[in-house]
Amino acid sequence: MTSTISIKIEFGGGLELLFNNQKSYKIEIPSLVPKDNSTDAESLSTKEKKPADVNYLIHHMRDHMLKERVELFMEKDTVRPGILVLINDTDWELEGEGEYLLKDRDEVVFISTLHGG
Amino acid sequence: MHLPLQDYQRFGRQMILDAIGLPGQIKMREAAVVVVGAGGLGCPALQYMGAAGIGRIGIIDHDRVELSNLQRQILHNEKTLGMYKAESAAEALKRIDSGLKIDVMTVAICAENALELLRPYDIILDCTDNMPTRYLLSDAAVALGKPLVSGAAQKLEGQLSVFNLGPNGPCYRCLYPKPPPRDAVGSCEELGILGAVTGVIGNLQAVETIKIILGQHDSTPSLLLYSAFGFPPFRTVKLRQRKADCPACSNPAENSFSITNTDYVQFCGGVSPNWVEAGLVAGIAGHRIRAKELQELLSSNVPLKVIDVRPRTEYEICQLPGSENVPLKDLLTQPEKYILANSDQDIYVVCRLGNDSQLAADALRRIGSGATVRDVVGGLRAWSKNVDPEFPIY
H/E run at residue B8: helix B5-10
Q: Which residues of A touch B193 (CB under 8 A)?
A: 116
The span from the CA of B377 to the CA of B365, in Å, is 17
pLDDT at res. B250:
85
pLDDT at res. B271:
87
Nearest to A115 among B40, B131, B237 (CB): B131
Residue B95, Cβ neighbours under 10 Å: how many?
A: 11
pLDDT at res. B273:
85
- Which residue ranges of chain B lie beneath pLDDT 70? 186-188, 252-256, 340-343
Angle formed at CA B290 by CA B289 and CA B296, multiple of 5 degrees: 95
Sign of CA dihedral B376, B377, B383, B387: negative
The span from the CA of B90 to the CA of B374, in Å, is 49
pLDDT at res. B187:
67
The per-residue pLDDT for range A60-90, each reduced to its tens digit, is 999 999 998 899 999 999 999 999 999 999 9
Mean per-residue pLDDT of chain A: 94
Contact B137, B148 (CB under 8 A): yes
Asked if A83 lies within 8 A of B177 by C-beta distance, the reply is no
Q: Is A76 on the interface with B (CB under 8 A)?
A: no
Q: Which residues of B touch A94 (CB under 8 A)?
A: 238-240
Q: Which domains does chain A have, with CATH numbers?
A: 4-112 (3.10.20.30)
pLDDT at res. B338:
85
pLDDT at res. B88:
98
Instruction: Flag whether pLDDT at A1 surpasses 70.
Output: no
Residues 221-240 of B with CB under 8 A from A: 223, 225, 227, 230, 235-240
- CA-based max dimension of chain A: 51
ipTM: 0.90
The per-residue pLDDT for range B309-341, each reduced to its tens digit, is 999 999 999 999 999 999 999 999 999 888 765
Residues contributing to the annotated binding site of B: 40, 61, 68-72, 85, 129-130, 171, 174, 246, 249
Residues 32-61 of B with CB under 8 A from A: 37, 39-42
b or e along B293-302 (b: 16 or more beta carbons within 10 Å of the residue's beta carbon)? ebeebbeeee
One DSSP character per residue, B283-336 reads -STTTEE-HHHHHHHHHTT--EEEEE-S-HHHHHH---TT-EE--HHHHHH-TH
Q: Helix and strand tally (H, E) in chain A?
A: 2, 9
pLDDT at res. A15:
93
pLDDT at res. B343:
63
pLDDT at res. B253:
65
The per-residue pLDDT for range B40-92, each reduced to its tens digit, is 999 999 999 999 999 999 999 999 999 999 999 999 999 999 999 999 999 99
Alpha helix ranges (H) inside B227-290: 264-267, 275-278
The span from the CA of A53 to the CA of A5, in Å, is 11
CA of B160: which chain A residue's CA is closest? A114
Q: What is the pTM of this model?
A: 0.93
Contact B376, B289 (CB under 8 A): yes
Residue B359, Cβ neighbours under 10 Å: how many?
A: 16
Q: Is A12 on the interface with B (CB under 8 A)?
A: yes
pLDDT at res. B341:
59
